[in-house]
Structure 1
């Protein structure tokens, strides 16, 4: 059975790129909105890994990360943060809060694939 990857990003173009590179190896679920993703998780869905953007409307990626890591049900799901923000302090803060990895946009899809494989395989 394929492992499941959840992407939360308000840009559908990112979802298209990631689904092309990950679609053969992983079941790929996508939400533009972290609140919708949380609703989906509360329906009993437990992906093997979550990729989350940081800058999103309604709920920021760091708030989503904080929610996930402070929730008993979901705290063990690895989360990879995607951001165009090349800030060392932000990267360190999110890694300290529990992000498994922090990848800068624009990213190399093959690098993302390798990093995900190392985390969940």
Structure 2
């Protein structure tokens, strides 16, 4: 069974690119907003990894991630942020919760795959992995 990754982004070109480069190796669930993603998670779904944009309508990525980190169930789910934010490093470092990795848009697909591999390896070796 493939590792399930929840991808949250409102940019269709990014979603198509992510689907193209990741769907061969991972089971992708794609949501267009933080609200859609939270609704999907509230149905009891448990992805191994979440990739989220920060700048989205309705519920921005920072609020979405904050909601996950304060929940008991998703607190340890690793998160990779993809964002076009100009000061992404400062924005991520200023967050009151842990982001496992972040990449600036436009991103290099190889860098993203490396970040996913690194984050998943840490997740599985840390003992946080749920038995999906």
TM band (smaller chain): over 0.9
1:35-73 deviations in whole A, cap 9, x for unaligned?
111111111110010000011000111101110000001
Aligned to 1:16: 16
Q: Which runs of 5+ in 1 are unaligned?
A: none
RMSD over aligned Cα, in angstroms? Answer: 1.1
Give the drift of 1:101: 1.0
Look up the SS of the partner of 2:57 in the other structure: coil
Look up the SS of the partner of 1:110 in the other structure: helix
Q: Which runs of 5+ in 2 are unaligned?
A: 122-132
Determine the C-alpha separation between the residues in 1 that align with 2:90 and 2:118: 24
Larger strand share, 1 or 2:
1
Aligned to 2:91: 90
Are the counterparts in 2 of residues 21 and 110 from structure 1 also a CA contact under 8 Å?
A: no
Give the drift of 1:117: 1.1
TM-score normalized with structure 2 length:
0.86
TM-score normalized with structure 1 length:
0.94
